[in-house]
Chain A
Amino acid sequence: MLAYIIRRIFYLVPVLFVLTVVVFTFVEMLPGNIIDTLVGTEGNNDPEVRKILEKEYGLDQPVYVRYAKWLFRAVQGDFGMSLVTRRPVSVELLSGIPATVYLAVVGISLSMLIAVPLGTIAAVKRNTPIDYTAQVTSLIGISIPEFWFAILCVLFFSLYLGWLPSSGFANPFEDPWASLKFLILPAAAVGFRQAAYTTRLTRSSMLDEMNKEYVDTARSVGLSESKVIFKYTLRNAMIPTITISGLQLANLLGGTVVLESIFAWPGIGRAIFEAILQRDYPLVQAGVLVLGCIVVVMNLLVDLTYRLLNPRVKLG
């Protein structure tokens, strides 16, 4: 197992390399450069000034040197200054992480709470109206664009009924009640879509397990049906469900940009989105890099957990 873990960590190297190159190339490929911005605002386009500035920012060096220097600083958490707020980019990003994690974790938990029972019932009552309803609902769920679902929620619960605030955020440690009110709609929007995926997954892996021999054995020794389902089948069927939910959680951390900007949720996704609008490219660059790293590491952790939970999987 240890050798496997080491090998998997080693495999991260090319992945992270691709990630850093893409992110670095992104800023390199922007038209113009920082000198244009600096010189442009001052209104003087003196070639001498340009030269001095280019030297100061290291733009006279070849691209691989700049990549290496940038990478060296990035590894230490130094991503430069935000062009808009003039604060270090790392500070801006760090302040967004808790809110994003909070939303993603609550959303995923909510989806599991809905999806696991629903998927199990659909599998046990296969080919009944309950099953069809669950299947159709989940198929519609994965087809609805999340931003539209979010807008409809706001329209109904905030504007029409007036029960919940349409957007915003409150710290759960300072004001739990207000925080909960702000949380409900975004978490529901995250959870609904995830629940649709997870229901389908739970159903199909339950059906897989229910076809296996140990289930017949358990029944033949006279165990009650509920015991067979809950104690044995569901436990095994949960392995893929948990794994995929972990992967989804990783993707959510990188993909809540849309929902965060609809609900004015102060997470890392919204920070990146606003940075794009304000052309604050150091922040965009660092944000994508950080989120990318989180996703990659989460994927690894999920994979390792999967192997631990399921020793039958061959270490490949």
Chain B
Amino acid sequence: MTELEARKFADLEAIRAPTLGGRLARWRTALSNAWHELRKSRTASIGAVMLVLLFGACIATPWITTYDPIKQNYRERLQPPSEKHLLGTDRMGRDIYSRLLWGGRRLVAIAILAVAFGLSVGIPYGVLSGYFGGKVDTVAMRLVDGLLAFPGLLLYLLIVTLAREWKMEGIYNDLVLIFALGFAFMPEVARLSRSSVLVEKQKEYVEASRAVGESSLAIALRQILPNIVSPLIVNATVRLGYVILIVAALSFLGLGTPPPTPDWGSDLAAARDYMETAPLIAAFPGLAICYTVLAFNLFGDGLRDILDPRLAER
């Protein structure tokens, strides 16, 4: 074995059975590549920084909050921001800063799970429908049209009402929301992945795989899927912002998780009664929603420019 051959062999081995160090090194390259790409778009990098802060705060919530978010303290009601209470207290003397963080953690988790659910059902649906085509495709897409035509908010209203009537509380209520929001995202994902598959299907590499004798399913999932990821990532990012708006709107209407769970939407609704005397209470949850949605939108927008250079020129 020459030295060159030996190195090649070692490389192959490294790919097959990566050591921890090798894995870390690859992750580092991947991250630095990603950052290099992100730098191309100012909106994407601003969005990325905002998102890192957001996720950081969500993960670190138990350690950086100073009070129990649902503990009432009637001696300290409606206090302005101070050293003791960074953002003041609400009408029940609860620490707004702690409530914001805990509420955000829950909201972001719901949004991510809902979008992940929509993707995990929608992608296989769309890819298979587009790949097989013919009658399967027609029927599958008619169904998607039917679901797409359903006005989103009304569907959520119905489902949330059902959850209320069945007295689903806490985690069950959240699960119902995740299911509803994810299900409503599914048709969009299905349609998007289908149309990308229709384009990819015509390309040479698919023909090559078929000539080698790979099965349809293997081609659809292993060859085509990785090539249609970028529009889906962009779509999912923007959708995360939209989902957060919807969840906040539902709980603002009083149809979300019942109090005292910290929740940006219902905290905002409760703060309406104190708008004249303590307008700041209504400002913080609103700002938090804005920040989060804006972060996702900026990141998604910038990502679209990076992943689709044709659009970036505009």
Contacts and interface: CB of A to CB of B under 8 A. Distances in A.
Nearest to A132: B42
Given A14-B143, A148-B289, A208-B314, A30 B149 contact: no
Given A148-B289, A152-B286, A204-B314, A296 B149 contact: yes
B253 interface: yes
Contacts of A288: 154, 157-158
B255 interface: yes
Given A18-B146, A145-B286, A31 B166 contact: yes
Contacts of A255: 151-154
28 contacts: A14-B143, A14-B145, A19-B146, A19-B149, A19-B150, A22-B150, A29-B162, A30-B162, A31-B166, A140-B290, A143-B241, A143-B290, A145-B248, A145-B249, A145-B252, A145-B289, A147-B248, A148-B289, A151-B268, A151-B282, A154-B275, A204-B314, A254-B151, A257-B253, A273-B157, A279-B165, A292-B154, A295-B149
B301 A144 contact: no
B279 A155 contact: yes
Contact of A139 (B153, B157, B294): B294
A140 B253 CA distance: 23
Contacts of B154: 254-255, 257, 272, 288, 291-292
A208 to B, nearest CB: 7
A102 interface: no
Contact of A257 (B143, B145, B157): B157
A99 B235 CA distance: 34
A154 B162 CA distance: 32
A11 B141 CA distance: 11
Contacts of B241: 143
A65 interface: no
B302 to A, nearest CB: 10
B216 interface: no
Given A148-B286, A151-B275, A276 B145 contact: no
Nearest to B250: A258
A276 B151 contact: no
B5 interface: no
Interface string B280-314: 00100010011001100110010000000000001
A151 B154 CA distance: 22
B161 interface: yes
B148 to A, nearest CB: 9
Interface string B27-45: 0000000000000000100
Interface in A98-144: 126, 139-140, 142-144
Interface in A239-274: 251, 254-255, 257-258, 261, 272-273
Given A204-B314, A251-B151, A291-B151, A148 B165 contact: no
Interface residues of A, number: 49
Given A148-B289, A292-B154, 12 more contacts: A14-B143, A18-B149, A22-B155, A139-B294, A139-B297, A143-B290, A151-B282, A154-B275, A155-B282, A159-B276, A261-B253, A296-B149
A139 B298 contact: yes
Interface of B: 43, 142-143, 145-147, 149-155, 157-158, 161-162, 165-166, 241, 245, 248-249, 252-255, 268, 272, 275-276, 279, 282, 286, 289-290, 293-294, 297-298, 301, 314
A258 B252 contact: yes
A26 interface: yes
Interface in A1-58: 11, 14-15, 17-19, 22-23, 26, 29-31
A284 B149 contact: no
A284 B160 CA distance: 13
B297 A142 contact: yes
B290 A148 contact: yes
Contacts of B254: 277
Chain B CB count within 10 A is highest, among A126, A143, A258, A277, for: A143
A299 interface: yes
A185 interface: no
A229 interface: no
A188 interface: no
Nearest to B164: A276
A145 B157 contact: no
B293 A143 contact: yes
Contacts of B294: 139-140, 143
Contacts of A155: 275, 279, 282
A207 interface: yes
A143 B240 CA distance: 11
Given A26-B158, A139-B294, A145 B149 contact: no
| Centre residue among B151, B252, B268 by max chain A CB count within 10 A | B151
Nearest to B291: A143
B150 A292 contact: yes
Contacts of A261: 253
A128 to B, nearest CB: 14
Contacts of B245: 145
A159 B275 contact: yes
Nearest to B43: A139
A208 B249 CA distance: 35
Contacts of B301: 139
